[in-house]
């Protein structure tokens, strides 16, 4: 067991040297590392929110608002299909306020002979969702439809359909948020799902938390609507006639626009968006481009409505209502408004990243200052050094020279662990530092098992080389068992935990694996080299 081939020795030493090289960039600032030659390692451990400062936001999907929006859209579709020839007559159709209050679309058919015709037309509006990911079964229906014998028709949102939608919305929202934050240039944001309908966002190093919250919180659902020609503006709170909607103006309090309910262009038809300066007046605008279908519709609408305004609506607010000066046939245009360079760029980011599928509500917000992060780093570093000193003192007092060998192996273990974290680009948090300290204790615990086994062999009268060999050989199974159970716990923490808990689990898991390598192989290599050099007559324990 104390025999090492040349290849084995070179491999072990190479691992330590490579880990040391990988760790070196963490000793310098990012600016310094960026200036190094391309062949040098540059990957650094990312400091988490509690170490670097930044913003912590916990969002929840607004189920009620989402259901209301979908039902109101369904109401428009129901009116359309019933109006097809031959027309299906009805009465007492739910108003927008009634839909919001009752969370249902309801009306009564006036002709009992049209029940089956109505059912045939309305059934497709139940909207069967896509195939379920779990189990491969057909998706649920989004809406439940009931048609009574008395002609009462009622649409409600399906509970099963809502759960499937919420799952899809959470995944889509994470992707949209990620695109938005990365466009800001924020350092290594962390975006994770919590539970069924919550999303955790951590943005270390961000200095403007309100801007981040505004950027994430906006649904960014942009639509273009024609403005009513006879009555373009009305007072906020005015009841809209059928086929129209009243949307408040973003810049004028109490003023709203009367718009066609049907949107001409939607945000998903926008292919590019860029903040730029208008060459005519030097004001900031957002230039956009449309896809093929959007360009065609935009060209037809602007051709037919020259000298009339159209409204650009963002999240149920009119941000601009320019007058169409001439037909716009190229599929591109500009969004004007009282933009600054930052607000124009933020709007362009929102359009490029796409709209959130549902409104997100902030249920928890924390801002960690950079100074507090520095204090956490200092406290973590002091705790690690104190733990290392105490462990080293204990091992050398209890096991003498072999205890010193354990300290060397422990230092190598820390270097390897930090090297792995650097290669993975992992985020180090304060609980992660706690995981590092814990694995230091686990590393020497393995050496304690080995040395105590050596003592037993020596007391039994075994020769030195046999006692050393048996100490490593017979302790191996116990070491593997103890580390395997700890690794299972780390995997469970990572799988079921979130945020700081996962950070702790990552460092703990990496620490356990590196401990197996260093506490057994490196310590054994050091002991083997020492034995060959000194040929001791007794074990110094």
pLDDT score of 54 more than 50: yes
- Give 184 or 411, the one with higher predicted confidence: 411
pLDDT tens track for 80-97: 899 988 999 999 999 888
- Give 120 or 375, the one with higher predicted confidence: 120
- Residue 326 near residue 27, CB atoms below 8 Å: no
| The pLDDT of residue 132 | 46
- Give 337 or 257, the one with higher predicted confidence: 257
Q: Quote the CA–CA distance of 162 and 166 in Å, as a whole number.
A: 6
Structural domain 218-366, CATH architecture: 2-Layer Sandwich (3.30)
Report if pTM > 0.75: no
Average pLDDT score over residue span 483-492: 91
| The pLDDT of residue 186 | 55
| The pLDDT of residue 320 | 84
Average pLDDT score over residue span 331-340: 82
Tokens for 342?
């930052």
Average pLDDT score over residue span 438-455: 88
pLDDT score of 337 more than 80: no
pLDDT score of 250 more than 90: no
Q: Quote the CA–CA distance of 508 and 483 in Å, as a whole number.
A: 11
- Give 207 or 64, the one with higher predicted confidence: 64
| The pLDDT of residue 368 | 76
Closest CA to 366 of 200, 135, 489, 517: 200
pLDDT score of 352 more than 80: no
pLDDT tens track for 136-176: 445 688 999 999 988 999 999 999 889 988 988 888 888 88
| The pLDDT of residue 256 | 93
pLDDT band, residue 130 (cuts 50/70/90): low
Listed range (98-112, 206-220, 379-393, 429-443) with the worst mean pLDDT: 206-220
pLDDT score of 526 more than 80: yes
pLDDT score of 333 more than 50: yes
| The pLDDT of residue 228 | 92
pLDDT band, residue 188 (cuts 50/70/90): low
| The pLDDT of residue 245 | 92
Domain residue spans of the chain = 6-51+370-534, 61-165, 218-366
| The pLDDT of residue 2 | 66
Give the pairing type, strands 46-47 and 427-428: parallel
pLDDT band, residue 185 (cuts 50/70/90): low
| The pLDDT of residue 121 | 92
pLDDT score of 509 more than 80: yes
Closest CA to 177 of 233, 126, 218: 218
H or E, element range at 222? strand 222-226
- Give 221 or 73, the one with higher predicted confidence: 73
| The pLDDT of residue 298 | 87
Average pLDDT score over residue span 4-13: 87
Closest CA to 337 of 278, 294, 295: 278
| The pLDDT of residue 133 | 42
Q: How many CA atoms lie within 13 A of 536 on its CB side?
A: 17
pLDDT tens track for 98-118: 998 999 999 999 998 899 999
Closest CA to 528 of 13, 19, 16: 13
Q: Quote the CA–CA distance of 365 and 371 in Å, as a whole number.
A: 18
In CATH, the number for domain 6-51+370-534 is 1.20.1640.10
| The pLDDT of residue 134 | 41
Identical fold for domains 6-51+370-534 and 218-366, yes or no, is no
Helices (H), 354-499: 370-424, 430-459, 464-496
User: What percentage of residues in the chain have a pLDDT greater than 70?
Assistant: 94
């Amino acid at each position: 067991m104390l025999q090492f081939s040349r290849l084995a020795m070179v491999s072990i030493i190479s691992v330590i040297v490579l880990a040391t090289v990988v760790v070196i960039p963490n000793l310098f600032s990012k600016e310094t590392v960026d200036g190094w030659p391309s062949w040098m390692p540059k990957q650094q451990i990312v400091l988490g929110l509690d170490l670097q400062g930044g913003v912590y936001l916990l969002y929840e999907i607004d189920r009620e608002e989402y259901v209301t929006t979908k039902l109101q859209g369904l109401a428009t579709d129901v009116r359309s299909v019933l109006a097809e020839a031959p027309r299906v007559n009805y009465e007492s159709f739910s108003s927008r306020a009634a839909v919001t209050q009752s969370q249902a679309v309801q009306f009564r058919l006036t002709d009992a002979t049209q029940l089956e015709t109505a059912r045939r037309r309305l059934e497709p509006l139940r909207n069967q969702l896509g195939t379920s990911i779990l189990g491969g079964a057909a998706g649920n229906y989004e809406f439940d439809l009931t048609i009574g014998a008395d002609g009462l028709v009622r649409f409600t949102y399906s509970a099963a359909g809502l759960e499937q939608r919420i799952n899809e919305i959470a995944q889509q929202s994470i992707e949209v948020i990620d695109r938005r934050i990365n466009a800001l240039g924020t350092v290594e944001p962390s975006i994770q799902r919590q539970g069924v309908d919550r999303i955790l966002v951590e943005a270390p190093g961000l200095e403007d938390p309100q801007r981040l919250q505004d950027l994430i919180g906006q649904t960014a659902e942009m639509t273009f609507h024609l403005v009513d020609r006879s009555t373009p503006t009305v007072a906020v709170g005015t009841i809209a006639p059928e086929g129209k909607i009243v949307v408040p103006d973003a810049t004028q309090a109490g003023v709203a626009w009367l718009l066609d309910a049907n949107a001409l262009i939607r945000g998903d038809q926008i292919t590019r968006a860029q903040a730029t300066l208008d060459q005519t007046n030097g004001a900031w605008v957002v230039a956009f481009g449309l896809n093929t279908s959007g360009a065609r519709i935009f060209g037809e609408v602007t051709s037919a409505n020259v000298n009339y305004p159209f409204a650009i609506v963002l999240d149920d607010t009119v941000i601009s209502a320019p007058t169409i000066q001439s037909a716009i046939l190229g599929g591109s245009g500009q969004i004007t408004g009282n933009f600054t360079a930052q607000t124009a760029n933020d709007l362009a980011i929102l359009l490029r990243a796409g709209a959130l599928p549902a409104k997100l509500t902030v249920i928890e917000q924390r801002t960690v200052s950079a100074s507090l992060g520095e204090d956490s780093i200092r406290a973590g570093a002091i705790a690690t050094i104190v733990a290392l000193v105490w462990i080293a003192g204990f091992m050398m007092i209890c096991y003498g020279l072999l205890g010193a060998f354990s300290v060397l192996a422990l230092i190598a273990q820390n270097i390897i662990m930090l090297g792995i974290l650097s290669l993975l680009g992992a985020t180090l948090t304060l609980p992660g530092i706690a995981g590092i300290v814990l694995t230091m204790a686990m590393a020497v615990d393995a050496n304690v098992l080995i040395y105590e086994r050596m003592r037993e062999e020596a007391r039994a009268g075994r020769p030195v080389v046999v006692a050393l060999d048996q100490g490593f050989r017979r302790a191996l199974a116990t070491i593997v068992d103890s580390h395997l159970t700890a690794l299972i716990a780390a995997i469970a923490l990572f799988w079921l935990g979130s945020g700081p808990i996962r950070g702790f689990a990552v460092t703990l898991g990496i620490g356990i694996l590196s401990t197996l390598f260093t506490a057994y192989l490196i310590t054994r290599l050091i002991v083997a080299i020492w034995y060959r050099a000194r040929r001791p007559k007794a074990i110094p324990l």
